[in-house]
């Protein structure tokens, strides 16, 4: 699978950039010190030990976007914006450009075939690149039963709204975390009991799709942060999610962990990749103990498998 190879390629991006810079910084022969041909030998020796003037840096302009990653539904890229970028976006989403010009961007599960990556430079110039997003074959199950009729009760909606508001507010928080630059690890290993994107079609009527990946290692098993971040929500008792932890990884990317039997972190806390954040459970709406892990970039829902690769 090509995406496994594509992810580490990002790490070489910075190296590639610095290679370009160091080539550019090579001494310019036109400005390098040279002794007059007719000078006395001892004068030449003095000139040789004197510090050479700093080479004149030659600016190499990075005029285009560069990136690596999987251009597919539920996938993501990490890249470098053109020099002088003051504002950049992918489709409708504004990109969070780090000081060194790097960024994260991702493609929703239902992303269309083409999406524009654009940057406005300080010169006012617009750099635009059209990305082609490949479709995925989602696990679709056609069932000959009607979709659950009717909506939820007024009592449920009254309880649910503040929960949805809390989740929305948490996901809007910008903490400056840099976990998005890391290679993600599995929060816990175990049997995969549900893939991202799976969907049921009820007599032709599509139901909602599965928004994360389900891992079932057993009740009470600890799970960890898949990448660095800041805890933006850590509360038990959500009607559907049960014990819920949301971690902001920065760059617009965040993880949610559902159905926890125990939560060991607090809101506002900084966590490191691999740090224990909670324990697997079956709280909220769950048919058995499992960890539901979902990843979102702004409103785009992403496939966690594309971040961690197959479990081994």
Q: Which stretch binds Zn ion (CB under 5 A): 48-56, 170-178, 182-190, 194-202?
A: 194-202
Nearer to Zn ion, 185 or 195 (CB): 195
Nearer to Zn ion, 160 or 198 (CB): 198
Spatial distance between the Cα atoms of 250 and 231, rounded to a whole number of angstroms: 11
Nearer to Zn ion, 166 or 240 (CB): 240
List the interface residues with Zn ion, window 282-311 (CB under 5 A).
292
Size of site (CB under 5 A) for Zn ion: 3
Burial of 226 (0-12, 13-18, 19+ CB in 10 A): buried
Q: Which stretch binds Zn ion (CB under 5 A): 14-22, 47-55, 193-201, 295-303?
A: 193-201
Spatial distance between the Cα atoms of 273 and 170, rounded to a whole number of angstroms: 20
Nearest to 207 by CA among 278, 284, 153, 143: 143
Nearest distance from C-beta of residue 116 to Zn ion, angstroms: 32
Is residue 214 a contact residue for Zn ion (CB under 5 A)?
A: yes
Q: Which tokens in the block code for residue 150?
A: 């009717």
Q: Which stretch binds Zn ion (CB under 5 A): 153-161, 179-187, 208-216, 246-254?
A: 208-216
Cβ neighbours of 236 (radius 10 Å): 17
Q: Which stretch binds Zn ion (CB under 5 A): 6-14, 165-173, 189-197, 216-224?
A: 189-197
Nearer to Zn ion, 78 or 259 (CB): 259
Backbone angles phi, psi at 57, to 5 degrees: -70, 140
Is residue 241 a contact residue for Zn ion (CB under 5 A)?
A: no
Side-chain-side CA neighbours of residue 235 (13 Å): 12
Is residue 109 a contact residue for Zn ion (CB under 5 A)?
A: no
Spatial distance between the Cα atoms of 67 and 44, rounded to a whole number of angstroms: 49
Which residues, 6+ apart, have CB-to-CB distance to 233 below 8 Å?
A: 166, 167, 170, 244, 245, 246, 267
Nearest distance from C-beta of residue 212 to Zn ion, angstroms: 5
Residues that bind Zn ion (CB under 5 A): 194, 214, 292
């Amino acid at each position: 699978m090509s995406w496994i190879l594509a992810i580490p390629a990002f790490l070489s991006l910075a190296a590639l950039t610095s290679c370009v810079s160091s080539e550019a910084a090579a001494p310019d022969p036109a400005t390098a010190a040279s002794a007059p041909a007719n000078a006395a030998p001892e004068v030449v020796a003095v000139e040789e030990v004197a510090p050479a003037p700093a080479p004149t840096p030659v600016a190499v302009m990075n005029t285009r976007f560069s990136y690596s990653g999987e251009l597919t539904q539920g996938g993501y890229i990490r890249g470098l914006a053109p020099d002088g970028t003051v504002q950049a976006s992918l489709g409708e989403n504004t990109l969070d450009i780090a000081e060194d010009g790097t960024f994260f961007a991702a493609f929703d599960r239902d992303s269309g075939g083409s999406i524009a990556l654009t940057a406005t430079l300080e010169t006012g110039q617009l750099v635009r690149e059209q990305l082609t997003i490949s479709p995925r074959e989602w696990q679709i199950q056609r069932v000959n039963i009607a979709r659950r009729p009717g909506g939820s009760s007024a009592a449920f909606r009254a309880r649910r709204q503040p929960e949805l508001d809390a989740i929305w507010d948490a996901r809007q928080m910008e903490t400056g975390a840099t976990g998005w630059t890391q290679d993600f690890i599995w929060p816990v290993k175990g049997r995969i009991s549900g893939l991202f994107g799976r969907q049921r079609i009820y007599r032709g009527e599509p139901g909602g799709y599965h928004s994360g990946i389900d891992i079932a290692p057993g009740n009470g098993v600890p799970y960890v942060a898949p990448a660095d971040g800041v805890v933006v929500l850590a509360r038990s008792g959500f009607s559907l999610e049960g014990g819920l932890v949301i971690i902001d990884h920065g760059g617009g990317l965040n993880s949610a962990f559902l159905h926890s039997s125990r939560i060991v972190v607090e809101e506002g806390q900084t966590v490191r990749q691999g740090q224990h954040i909670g324990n697997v459970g079956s709280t909220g709406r769950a048919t058995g103990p499992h960890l539901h892990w979902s990843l979102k970039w702004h409103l785009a829902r992403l496939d966690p498998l594309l971040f961690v690769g197959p479990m081994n």
